[in-house]
Amino acid sequence: MTTEMQEIAITEDKPLLTGQADAKDAELAARILLDQGQEHSIETPHGVVHATLHGAGATRRPAILTLHDVGQDSKSCFSTLFKFEEMQEIVKNFTLIHIDTPGQEEGAAAYPAGYQYPSMETIAEMIPTVLQFFNIRTVIGVGVGAGAYILSKFTLANPDSVEGLVLINIDIQARGWIDWAAQKLSSVTSSLTEQILTHLFSQEEMSANTDLVQSHRDRISKASNLVNIELLWKNYNSRRDLNIDRNSTFKCPVMLVVGDQAPYEDAAVECNSKMDPTTTSFLKMADAGGQPQLTQPAKLTEAFKYFIQGMGYMASSCMTRLSRSRTTSLSSSYSMDGSRSRSRTLSQGSQGGQMPPSPSQTMEVSC
């Protein structure tokens, strides 16, 4: 008996063959590279822009293209969402490109005094060069705040390059005189970091000084490229009207997303009123604060999956755990096959929401 046990132990301790070890090392290296992404500094006619590619690049499907808000970079803005467990089903089916607006990437060097930072319009004009660099023909854009505004500018100028838009905390209007005066006063009484935090988070989150608020405060205040952040902040506050109305709007499906009580809740509602109701979804999320992609990744992932399916992709996709809990209600009252041909609104909270198949009919959905 003892001899048999020793023989078994010896068998288990035999080393892998060299070829097997090399294959496993290569597989591990590939997984690490896929998770971290391939970072590139891309020269455009308007300067260098940093972008990170996840996936194989050119495919028949559109790439998912993200653009972050002021005071963030692509990692701090989108890592929580795109590394979320249920999002992996989407990520593995699409190429993912994260763009950092100039000088905002982690570890970026500070621009010298007197540097003229590109306008929102100029940053939008850098995006075609990025797509050409990666050999990408069309994209589904996902933008937050300033990133949503820039992607909107890009889409209006390049409608054939964008198959869909997810705009979080979008404000399509230029700052009025009252906003301008308030901003001037704030710049005198508050630090740059606090100004940006009130742009990113709700009053409730700021008062509670949540962990998310504190982590952003620490990161922004200690950033080596704080001068770059300030330049982007000033240019975003100098943005122009997008001049969108129902007769002059996006040609692709759009999902507007905002948190209940978020700083840009009213702006998102105003934007929704100017959009084509037959191609626009409006997701207003309770308990989400100012950054729903960070605080409610599960709900946003599910909404994003429905949005993609409505565009004709991932039709056979497995539903998320959240989706499975509401299958009966959805199958009896709502068809994703016709989602692009009618108005729909999704108002989602901790208890439920509505997704109307038509402007005159709504439906309760439990989450």
Q: What is the DSSP string of 57-75?
A: S--SSPEEEEE--TT--HH
**Is 327 among the domain residues?**
no
- Rounded to the nearest integer, the mean pLDDT of the chain is 81
Which pLDDT score, from 0 to 100, does residue 51 have?
Answer: 98
> What pLDDT shows up at residue 66?
98
Flag whether 358 is in a domain.
Answer: no
Query: C-alpha angle 62/232/178, rounded to 5°?
Result: 110
Q: 10 Å Cβ neighbour count for 139?
A: 26
Question: Higher-confidence residue: 76 or 334?
Answer: 76
Average pLDDT over residues 140-166: 98
In a domain, 356, yes or no: no
Q: For 65-79, 234-248, 305-319, 333-347, which range has the lowest pLDDT when averaged over its residues?
A: 333-347
Q: Would you say 172 and 245 are in contact if contact means Cβ atoms under 8 Å apart?
A: no
Query: Does residue 333 lie in a domain region?
Result: no
Q: What is the rounded distance in angstroms from the CA atom of residue 177 to the CA atom of residue 259?
A: 26
Task: Give the H or E element holding residue 56.
Answer: none
Question: 237 — phi, psi (to 5°)?
Answer: -70, -10
In a domain, 2, yes or no: no
Asked whether the predicted pLDDT for residue 10 surpasses 70, the reply is no
| Secondary structure element (H or E) that encloses residue 201, with its range | none
Q: Would you say residue 126 lies in a domain? A: yes
What is the helix (H) or strand (E) element at residue 39, kind and residue range?
Answer: strand 38-44
Which pLDDT tens digit goes with each residue over 56-94? 765 789 999 999 999 999 999 999 999 999 999 999 999
Range of the domain at 127: 30-311
More confident residue, 166 or 320: 166
Higher pLDDT, 286 or 339: 286
User: Each residue of 266-280: pLDDT tens digit?
Assistant: 999 999 999 999 999
Count of domains forming the chain: 1
What's the pLDDT at 199?
96
The model's pTM is 0.80
pLDDT at 365: 29
Predicted local confidence at residue 261, as pLDDT: 86
DSSP 134-181: TT---EEEEEETHHHHHHHHHHHH-GGGEEEEEEES---S---HHHHH
In this prediction, residues 5-26 reach a mean pLDDT of 46
Residue 180 lies in a domain: yes
CATH number at residue 229: 3.40.50.1820
222: pLDDT strictly greater than 60 = yes
% of the chain at pLDDT higher than 90: 67
Residue 26 pLDDT > 80:
no
Structural domain contains residue 278 = yes
Integer CA distances (angstroms), 323 to 38, 189, 255, 318, 346, in order: 32, 46, 18, 9, 14
> Is the confidence at residue 98, as pLDDT, over 90?
yes
Per-range mean pLDDT, top range of 7-11, 226-230, 245-249: 226-230
Extract the tokens encoding 311. Answer: 């565009």
